[in-house]
Amino acid sequence: MGVDYYEILEVDRNATDEELKKAYRKLAMKWHPDKNPDNKNEAETKFKLISEAYEVLSDPQKRAIYDRYGESSLKGGMPPPDAGLDSFFQTGGGPTTFRFNPRDPNGIFAEVFGFSSPFGRMGMGVGGCGRGMGGGSWVSRSFGGMFGKDIFGEGRPMSQGPRRKAPPIENTLPCSLEELYKGTTKKMKISRQISHASGKTQLVEEILIIEIQPGWKKGTKITFPEKGNEQPNVIAADLVFIIDEKPHSIFTRDGNDLVMTQKISLAEGEVLTGYTFQLTTLDGRGLTIAINNVIDPNYEEVITGEGMPISKDPSQRGNLRIKFNINFPSIVDAGVEN
């Protein structure tokens, strides 16, 4: 098949238009020659291949030819798979032949991003951040060759400035202490508007996967870049989920420590003679707690390593701190009562 456009864009062969565009945006921004001044030759080569792959796979007709005949036939004159590809063929005295020449990669970049420089300006010119090889920006020189002159002028920006970024959309994500102790996977279904190159918008549904890590705390943020609604001349908002902790019937959290209160009775002599009780941990283990010290209202038993996992190193844990609620019964002297 020659060049594997799917491999170049790092997508599978069933990739949707949205997946192709997302892959192109990521790779084109990474390998734009103006962002790789120390590695410009390799960047130019990869940038052109990325643009060519996106041009072919994002066009249903070109993609159909490529999928059926391969890259060499796409460029070399293979007859079309159907009769609906007239705009890409020339008809002479012989059979219909294919005539495909890749577009200028900068034109594709400008079409997708709304600007032709990865730094957000069109035609930075001499002395600008978009300065390429030889003189003027690499972007300006390429477009100049396309139209017969430098359409950007001498360092003059186009009237359309960089697109603004929509403010982030924040949502609370309640989690139980058990989930934050062991870690879990949550799937969030969202609906959002996406824009097509034609200017039309479409409502789509997506499933976002959130991997909750052991030890995460309230306030931890998980960000999905540009998952808000798409609008003209606006970069879609980031979607942010903020961890919140659900109340627990036994434990409360204090940093990496777990805190609980155990009720005991003075009448049973537990305060003076020692006390043992059973406890179920957040991961389901049975724990026997033996208190061998005299318990008073201010006493706190500390069990090392039985608290919450520490997110930076889940093999380490905080402590379990046990406080006591002592029930002092009313003792009434029978003689006094008589």
DSSP symbols for 30-53: HH-GGG-TTSHHHHHHHHHHHHHH
The more confident residue out of 274 and 109 is 109
Looking at the predicted structure, is the pLDDT value of residue 155 above 80? Answer: no
167 secondary structure, DSSP code:
P
Distance, in Å, from the CA atom of 81 to the CA atom of 74, rounded to the nearest integer, reads: 11
Collect contacts of 281-287 with beta carbons under 8 A, ≥24 apart.
Answer: 281/306, 282/177, 282/178, 282/181, 282/182, 282/251, 282/258, 283/178, 283/181, 283/182
pLDDT band of 105, cuts 50, 70, 90? confident
Q: Which pLDDT does position 163 carry in this prediction?
A: 74
Tokens of 311: 């997110």
Residue 292 burial by CB count (10 A; 0-12/13-18/19+): exposed, middle or buried?
exposed
Which residue, chain included where needed, has tokens 């962002």?
35
Mean pLDDT of 79-108: 54
What is the per-residue burial (b if ≥16 Cβ within 10 Å, else e) of 190-207?
eebebeeeeeeeeeeeee
Average of per-residue pLDDT values in the chain: 77
Distance, in Å, from the CA atom of 56 to the CA atom of 74, rounded to the nearest integer, reads: 9
Model pTM above 0.75: no
Q: Are 183 and 151 in contact (CB under 8 A)?
A: no
Looking at the predicted structure, is the pLDDT value of residue 114 above 60? Answer: yes
Looking at the predicted structure, is the pLDDT value of residue 73 above 80? Answer: no
Q: What is the pLDDT of residues 5-54, one digit of tens each?
A: 999 999 999 889 889 999 999 999 999 988 888 888 898 999 999 999 99
The more confident residue out of 272 and 206 is 206
Tokens of 19: 């997946």
Looking at the predicted structure, is the pLDDT value of residue 185 above 90? Answer: yes
pLDDT band of 142, cuts 50, 70, 90? very low
Q: Are 122 and 137 in contact (CB under 8 A)?
A: no
Mean pLDDT of 84-88: 39
Distance, in Å, from the CA atom of 158 to the CA atom of 123, rounded to the nearest integer, reads: 8
Distance, in Å, from the CA atom of 42 to the CA atom of 38, rounded to the nearest integer, reads: 10
Orientation angle between helical segments 40-57 and 17-31, nearest 10 degrees:
170
User: 217 Cβ partners below 8 Å, 6+ apart?
Assistant: 180, 243, 245, 253, 311
Mean pLDDT of 256-268: 84
Residue type, 223: T
Distance, in Å, from the CA atom of 138 to the CA atom of 102, rounded to the nearest integer, reads: 18
User: 220 Cβ partners below 8 Å, 6+ apart?
Assistant: 242, 243
Classified as helix, coil or strand, 151 is: coil
Q: Which pLDDT does position 67 carry in this prediction?
A: 84
Q: Are 128 and 136 in contact (CB under 8 A)?
A: no
* CA geometry: angle 313, 318, 322, nearest 5 deg: 165
Classified as helix, coil or strand, 165 is: strand
Which of 324, 275, 283, 274 shows the shortest CA–CA distance to 305?
283
Residue 127 burial by CB count (10 A; 0-12/13-18/19+): exposed, middle or buried?
exposed
Q: Which pLDDT does position 156 carry in this prediction?
A: 39
